[in-house]
Structure 1
């Protein structure tokens, strides 16, 4: 069941670190600060801008600002934690992998509002305004991949829903061409914790049902749960006409969200979406992000993402 002793030790450390939501929140470093430090340490170009009409959201442009292809990325953290170092490091690794294959890709990293101060639909509104901001700068939707991990995967699916269905609290957005793709990394698609994988994988994954329920309660009221913020609720018909050419849905076989992510992927497939669903053997939640953070050997989650991104971005301008 284990990838290595080092991965096991990492997962155990994270289970302890993330076991108390309030302690994790207090130790969380602001996203902008983390982005600036890592890009500075690595000597990578960074330009940060406020997003208009977004209640304080910012986009951090990492890499060559003149690039025509963009990965708009929403980080995870239960809507209550800032970005991890691993988020930035993994995206820069991805950027370098793409550059080696002659694809220059700009990372547009969203710094969005966190709970408990900001609740739904603020984060979805900010994700929508981030895409609108990119389009206003002249980027073509057909050259944009929107992606995210965990809560960021939730936001990615929420934004995909906004492009098809009007959502209360979010200004509608229509695009002229479908997005190049959607990247879903261990997406958080259900606020329930009753699936069998919560029980089966609780000893392997980096968090359990109690912490997830706490983050969900901070994010959205029970009466506000809907297809935009809890994607597993949406039926096949909801996803028909999805405004993206390709979708990658990757998750670990050892994560508590495994069953929910599989169901979501199956629903997208039944809706006629060009989705690739990949269950990564012996990997846990957002394992590719954690490998980057801890400097460990990468697994299939990372390589699947890099191969998919290369294919999608090479479809061309």
Structure 2
């Protein structure tokens, strides 16, 4: 099984290396071009069974991370009730001190069917240490180990995310610190960004299968890295950046079909026909009015994307609608979309891992500055909002 994947990837790498000087359509650097092609090949050919064999679950990856970093695991198991699905249990894992004042509730990427990687935990570990140290604040990340597709389909992932958020805000047990909404931030990359946005949509428009969350005040903010906001292939960047990005554009509707349970539409969707989705699972289908009360649910929004990624145009469309709704709802300049030229999918995270922890890319600096500004006003109810 792994030999077949290795063969595909190795042959792709050889071709990219040999042809690089002669191609006009390529990633911004030689290193990125070869790496993205290798990942693109892997994601094109890997099956769910192969993915489970190589990386069984987010929980198992978290435990491996803790062993490698000599850290004591700290996790939550939170029961929830669903009108349609009955009872369930959400799991989440701490990076940093569970008693920290500020919590980043994080949803990992992985095309909805793959668990979190070791890189996810390493990046978050660096983030909670870095952003807190500079401002003298205690920050921790809580990674939701949401159920994976195709075994679990939407809205299971929203049910789990909502359960963890409610636990953070309204926990009544003696072991869990109750936090003010302003001290909780939603974050996620790629598919995880989609789930984070589904949770934001749920705050605005309670999903009929998920218990509503009534906020006393807006959450601190939302930080998304290259969120998957469309399950369609009709965007121009899907073609324009197909040979630059790490994501194979042809698989986007396939992953979306697994996530939403719309596998009956898989054949037509692969030819570019839109799946039947909604604003919760595909934020791009929501119009501007959907986001009118966004500033009443979150204090700040930062969405990062790369000019060379296949999601570039769909994220741009989300920006247009979300900013319009934000303005109509009375919000001011607290919403920010940053599109970095020459950068591909989840650029800040990939650059951090490729450079051995160096934080000198332009998008990494944007993230650092955003967190610095958020923590500057931490704990002050009068001026935490813009």
- TM-score range relative to shorter protein: over 0.9
Match for residue 337 of structure 2?
A: 277
1:129-148 equivalences under 5 Å are 129-137=163-171, 138-148=178-188
Kept in 1, the 8 Å contact 2:27–2:308? The answer is: no
Structure 1 residues 112, 83: closer, same or farther in 2, change over 3 A? same
Task: Tell me, yes or no, if structure 1 residue 308 matches structure 2 residue 356.
Answer: no
Task: Tell me, yes or no, if structure 1 residue 264 matches structure 2 residue 289.
Answer: no
Q: Distance in 2 between matches of 1:313 and 1:122?
A: 32
- Larger mean CA deviation between 145-154 and 25-34 belongs to 25-34
Of the candidates 99, 116, 122, which is equivalent to residue 66 of structure 1?
99
Match for residue 152 of structure 1?
A: 192
1:270 is displaced (CA, Å) by 1.1
Match for residue 112 of structure 1?
A: 146
Aligned length: 317
Kept in 2, the 8 Å contact 1:144–1:181? The answer is: yes
Task: Please list the CA deviations of residues 103-125 of structure 1 after superposition, one character each: whole Å capped at 9, or x if unmatched.
Answer: 22011110010011100110111
Kept in 2, the 8 Å contact 1:80–1:114? The answer is: yes
Kept in 2, the 8 Å contact 1:20–1:211? The answer is: no
Kept in 2, the 8 Å contact 1:45–1:62? The answer is: no
Q: Distance in 2 between matches of 1:2 and 1:204?
A: 5
Unpaired runs of 5+ residues, structure 1, are: none
Kept in 2, the 8 Å contact 1:153–1:187? The answer is: yes
Of the candidates 91, 114, 118, which is equivalent to residue 81 of structure 1?
114
Unpaired runs of 5+ residues, structure 2, are: 1-25, 82-87, 172-177, 266-274, 380-386
1:24 is displaced (CA, Å) by 4.1
- Larger mean CA deviation between 189-198 and 89-98 belongs to 89-98
Of the candidates 39, 45, 65, which is equivalent to residue 66 of structure 2?
39
Match for residue 230 of structure 1?
A: 282
**Structure 1-normalised TM-score?**
0.94
Structure 1 residues 119, 247: closer, same or farther in 2, change over 3 A? same
Q: Give the aligned CA root-mean-square deviation in angstroms.
A: 1.9
- Larger mean CA deviation between 288-297 and 196-205 belongs to 288-297
